[in-house]
């Protein structure tokens, strides 16, 4: 299939999304970059925001802006109600209860919260934390820090040449010393989807608590934390078409109740004396200070927007685009895909023979196409594949076959200029 013959970005039997209408919902997509229609393929880094989210943010600041909890005035009460409604929306979206949803600044802070509060209070010298070779730095460094502070040991389960987790390596690493297993639901660098429910069962049978980094999975897959069975699940608002500065930590209620606060301050205590403090119940125990109220409201608007479109419809559409992109990229001379797992979401990483990834990204930007180049905060993983950097193209619900065509055409420009 040549780029000129690629199917038009329109609803089909397999993809019922109306891309014209959806793109109109995202004002940023209407802009031009270097006099070309913007093709935004950096969605694994952050997504663009629909009008519903922008309107919710403006409405909150204009009509409901006040600090939450304890306020006796109307605006404070409205802000508190909106903030707690947002928690309820997030809980429904993830299959949890509101009391199990902690608002954070993002996936990174969520994982750090678990590592600092849960892990450091329980790990002992000789214990082990198991991660996988495909983890983002945000799911490596906090565990390194926790291990260093407690005398525990970090172990790593390998991935194979396709970027698939080696289940034999994973199972072999589990043992009586394994106290925590932290793994990605989907790899940010490769798109590989891990069978997290199965891996959770294996880990819990070994006596481990399971922490899932869901930053790259939740935008593309319907996630039910009860069905997965994990103990903690983390994700970010800005990758879910919501604002930056807000994220989510789902925690099993019984575990949250046992965990000490991570940060101290206002709003996380019931009473304070010079000698001591009585902490609030979860989730407020973990939300010291003024939270990101407007951002939580904006995140709730984003999740409502996604629910209205239909998670299954979004998943089918994105799977079609992902498969089309894989087929077309495979035909580009000198291009090598990094990560060819049969189960993938989000996007593809690749290298072009003899051309640095940053040079590829720079020329693509000149063609109006936004991609990501570098190590994607997954340096150990890229070293496993013997490359210092890749180009990553990542898709969202507003991307279509026409975007794939533009990408392929622009890669031909890259080769003409640099090959």
**Is residue 147 flagged as an active site residue?**
no
Query: Residue 66, SS3?
Result: coil
Same domain, 173 and 69: yes
36 domain residue, yes or no: no
Query: Is residue 6 predicted with pLDDT exceeding 50?
Result: no
- End of a domain among 307, 327, 360? 307
Q: For 362-380, what is each residue's pLDDT tens digit?
A: 999 999 999 999 999 999 9
Domain end among 274, 307, 340: 307
- 24 and 129 within one domain: no
Residue 101 in domain: yes
Decide: 91 and 300 in contact? Cβ < 8 Å: no
- What is the Cα–Cα distance from 256 to 231, expressed in whole angstroms? 10
Task: Look at residue 395 and tell me if it is in a domain.
Answer: yes
- Strands (DSSP E) found in 218-367: 232-236, 247-251, 269-272, 277-279, 335-338, 347-352
pLDDT value at residue 5: 31
Residues 315 and 287 both lie in one domain: no
Same domain, 113 and 166: yes
Is the domain of 321 the same as that of 278? no
User: pLDDT for 239-283, tens place per residue?
Assistant: 999 999 999 999 999 999 999 999 999 999 999 999 999 999 999
Among the candidates 279, 307, 335, a domain finishes at: 307
What is the rounded distance in angstroms from the CA atom of residue 29 to the CA atom of residue 38? Answer: 6
Q: Kindly report, residue by residue over 174-222, the tens digit of the pLDDT.
A: 999 999 999 999 999 999 999 999 999 999 999 999 999 999 999 999 9
User: What's the number of domains the chain is made of?
Assistant: 2
* One domain, residues 330 and 234: no
Q: Are strands 128-132 and 153-157 parallel, antiparallel or unpaired?
A: parallel
- Is the pLDDT at 8 greater than 70? The verdict is no
CATH of the domain at 136: 3.40.640.10
Q: Is residue 43 domain-resident?
A: no
**In which domain, by residue range, is 411 found?**
3-30+310-418
334 shares a domain with 218: no
Of 147, 230, 235, 377, which is the active-site residue? 377
Q: Residue 113: which residues within 8 A CB-CB, separation 6 or more? A: 102, 104, 249, 262, 286
Task: Kindly report the pTM of this predicted structure.
Answer: 0.95
Q: Quick check: is 37 in a domain?
A: no
Q: Rounded CA gap, 211 and 184, in Å?
A: 9
In a domain, 175, yes or no: yes
């Amino acid at each position: 299939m040549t780029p000129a013959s690629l199917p038009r970005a329109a609803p089909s039997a397999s993809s019922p999304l109306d891309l014209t209408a959806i793109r109109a919902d995202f004002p940023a997509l209407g802009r031009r970059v270097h006099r070309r229609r913007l093709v935004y393929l950096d969605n694994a880094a952050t997504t663009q925001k629909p009008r519903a989210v922008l309107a919710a943010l403006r409405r909150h600041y204009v009509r409901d802006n006040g600090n939450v909890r304890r306020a006796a005035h109307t605006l404070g009460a409205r802000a508190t109600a909106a903030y707690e409604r947002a928690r309820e929306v997030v809980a429904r979206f993830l299959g949890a209860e509101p009391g199990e949803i902690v608002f954070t600044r993002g996936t990174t802070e969520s994982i750090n919260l678990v590592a600092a509060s849960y892990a450091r209070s329980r790990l002992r010298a000789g214990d082990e934390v198991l991660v996988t070779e495909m983890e983002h730095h945000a799911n490596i460094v906090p565990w390194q820090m926790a291990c260093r502070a407690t005398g525990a040991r970090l172990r790593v389960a390998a991935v194979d040449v396709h970027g698939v987790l080696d289940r034999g390596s994973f199972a072999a690493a589990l043992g009586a010393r394994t106290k925590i297993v932290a793994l990605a639901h989907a790899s940010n660098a490769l798109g590989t989807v891990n069978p997290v429910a199965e891996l959770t069962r294996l880990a819990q049978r070994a006596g481990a608590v399971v922490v899932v980094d869901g930053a790259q999975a939740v935008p593309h897959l319907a996630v039910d934390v009860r069905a997965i069975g994990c103990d903690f699940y983390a994700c970010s608002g800005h990758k879910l078409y919501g604002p930056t500065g807000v994220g989510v930590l789902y925690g099993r209620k019984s575990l949250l109740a046992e965990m000490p606060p991570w940060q101290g301050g206002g709003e996380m205590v019931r009473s304070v004396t010079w000698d001591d403090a009585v902490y609030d119940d979860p989730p407020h125990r973990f939300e010291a200070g003024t939270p990101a109220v407007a951002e939580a409201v904006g995140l709730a608007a984003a999740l409502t927007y996604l629910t209205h479109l239909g998670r299954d419809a979004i998943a089918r559409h994105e799977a079609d685009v992902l498969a089309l992109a894989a087929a077309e990229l495979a035909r580009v001379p000198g291009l090598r895909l990094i990560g060819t797992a049969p189960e993938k979401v989000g996007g593809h990483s690749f290298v072009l023979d003899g051309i640095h990834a940053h040079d590829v990204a720079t020329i693509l930007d000149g063609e109006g196409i936004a991609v990501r180049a570098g190590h994607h905060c997954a340096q150990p993983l890229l070293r496993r594949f013997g490359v210092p950097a890749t180009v990553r193209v990542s898709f969202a619900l507003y991307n279509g076959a026409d975007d794939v065509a533009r990408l392929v055409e622009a890669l031909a420009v890259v080769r003409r200029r640099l090959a």
